[in-house]
A = this chain, B = another copy of it.
Amino acid sequence: MPDKVFRIARAARSPRRPVMLAVAGDSASGKTTLTAGLVQALGPDRCTSVCVDDYHRFDRRERANSPFTALHPDANHLDIMEQHLQLLATGQPILKPVYDHETGELTRPQLVEPNDFIIVEGLLPLYTKLARACFEVTVYLNPPEPIRRGWKVRRDIAQRGYTEQRVLDELDRCAADSAEFVRPQQRHADIVVRFAPIATRQDPPGTPLSAELMLRPTVPHPDLQAVLVPTENKAIHLKLERDPDGRPCDALHVHGYVPVEESRTVQQAIWSATNQFGDPPPCLGRLTLSRRSEPMAITQLLLMHHLLHAHH
């Protein structure tokens, strides 16, 4: 009696439909840092973040006997991930599976209820067409491999207690699946973000990484031509380019050495273009308790623009 189901479901509920952002990228590509700043800026009471790397079909013990790495789509319940993204996008709660990174076991699932904003981060949130259709805006984080490997080694040693050799072995083991399944998702992202040093410069050690943002015209970006004044903005500029498939896009460069004042002026302009009063949230751009990055702040602010824009 499925027709009856739909009729009653429609009548019984007028669910709150969240604005959804996907943050995709390989392991240790910066997803959590980007997401944490956005959750803080939007407020944890209005914004929920969900990691979709918990939809593993196998636990660690089972995976040891399987030909798949955890990155392989067949090693994950992608159909259930897709279903849960649809449920969230249509304002329904989900009971999300939970993978315990410490023990490698699948454990008690967790209730996730709709909220004004839901940020979905993980390895494969953009893998299927139906999953992608759930998002208002999608981001892929694409740091150069040597940078990402360094981040992963540092994080897994500090947070998961691994040895450096174990992390390097895992990186090698996952390389093929990463190239085949994770990285191709960047072609589906509205924004591809690359944090990297500038190849042509010899910046002193400690200079924050620059950001190169590929902005595809698949979502309405704020008018950056109006925001960026070529005579005043030297460390932040916009260029018309082609993406790797030859399709036109904007490339926004934010140099790591950008003076704070220049960055703030641009941020203030984007914030005004988002129809928000006052200053942009000061938590944007925070990397650790003591380190800030202006390129990260501008990246997060652009995403806030999309989220707030879609919410209204």
Chain A residues proximal to chain B, CB less than 8 Å: 1-2, 4-5, 8-9, 12, 17, 57, 59, 77, 79-80, 83, 86-87, 89-90, 92-95, 97, 105-109, 111, 129-130, 133-136
Q: Across the interface, do A95 and B93 meet the contact criterion of CB distance under 8 Å?
A: no
Q: Which one of B4, B83, B90, B97 lies within 8 Å of A87 (CB-CB)? A: B83
Q: Are A8 and B107 in contact (CB under 8 A)?
A: no
CB-based contact B97/A92 at 8 Å: no
Q: Is the CB of A95 within 8 A of B108?
A: no
Measured CB to CB, the nearest residue on chain B to A83 is: B92
Of A1, A90, A106, A129, most B-chain CB atoms within 10 Å: A1
Nearest B residue to A130 via CB reads B8
Q: Is the CB of A90 within 8 A of B133?
A: no
A130 touches B5 (CB 8 A): yes
- Whether A8 and B133, one on each chain, are in contact in the complex, defined by CB atoms closer than 8 angstroms, is yes
CB-based contact B86/A9 at 8 Å: yes
In the complex, the chain B residue whose C-beta lies closest to that of A86 is: B5
The answer on a CB contact under 8 Å between B107 and A79 is no
Residues of B within 8 A of A12 (CB): 129-130
Task: Collect the chain B residues with CB atoms within 8 Å of residue A105's CB.
Answer: 108
Contact B111 A109, beta carbon cutoff 8 Å: no
Would you mind naming 23 contact pairs between A and B with Cβ atoms under 8 Å apart? Answer: A1-B89, A1-B135, A2-B17, A4-B133, A5-B86, A5-B133, A5-B134, A8-B130, A8-B133, A12-B130, A57-B111, A59-B108, A77-B95, A79-B93, A80-B93, A80-B94, A95-B95, A95-B97, A95-B109, A106-B108, A106-B109, A107-B108, A109-B109
